[in-house]
Amino acid sequence: MEGFAQVVQMAVLALVQGLTEFLPVSSSGHLVLAKAALGFNAMSGLGVELLLHGGTLVAVCLYYRRLIGSVATGLWRREVKAWRFAFAIVVSMIPAVVVGLLFEEPLERLAECPLFVCGALVFTGCLLLATRVWGRDEGREVSPIRGLLMGVAQAVAMLPGVSRSGCTIAMSRFLGVGSTDAAAFSFLMVVPVVLGGNALHVMKTFHGSGGGAFEGLSWPLAVVGFGISAAVGYASVAWMVQLLGRHAFWRFGFYCLAVGIGGGVFLLLK
């Protein structure tokens, strides 16, 4: 029964991850609150989050497979537009890599603090609502400079409870980037960061250097978590692209405020 309960817990968390990874509501924040509210103590740890993020990583790569293929072909043919896009992706990684290397342990500790997550969700909600006033779609492309600024937003979103897609797309709206380009860049810029993070922790695990992020995760749990987060994540990214096209992105701010404030009250009265 214990094994079955763990599978159920993993399935629930994978569903939460898939639904919230690409919506501007903070998947990490929802995972923390879901664990706290439902008592999923067995599913805590960095390995679970890395596994679930791996599933949604596959989802976004599948959704943007044609764009990825087009950029790869353009790089091979030395097309300026493709190299410009790829360079912007590389530049956008720098802030997150620096923050991740310098503050990995403090960030992990904050992920174990549900009240902090609630406050971060309130911040996310305010940021999303701000795009209603100051956001604009001027059809600009993502230049390396704009990519770097979106990378700074991604680094801020490493705080648990701050939405990564919310921060990066909000920054793109403030910069006047077109909605289609904003969505594609925001979702693809995380790919090398997640790949690098997972690779780093896998290396630590196999070399026995004290990382062991995936220790205790069985293959059935891994398959369930990875599969559900990938399938649900694919549907989620498709929905988010449609919402951006309809300029309904900012409305998630009300949801983040409600969850952040409501979750904080619940935790304080619990």
Model pLDDT, residue 219? 74
Please tell me which residue, 137 or 32, carries the higher pLDDT value. 137
Mean pLDDT over the full length of the chain: 84
Is residue 57's pLDDT more than 70?
yes
Is residue 241's pLDDT more than 60?
yes
Is residue 210's pLDDT more than 50?
no
Would you say 120 and 29 are in contact if contact means Cβ atoms under 8 Å apart? yes
Would you say 217 and 182 are in contact if contact means Cβ atoms under 8 Å apart? no
Is residue 44's pLDDT more than 70?
no
Model pLDDT, residue 211? 45
Taking residues 60-89, what's their average pLDDT? 94
* Percentage of the residues of the chain whose pLDDT score is greater than 90: 42
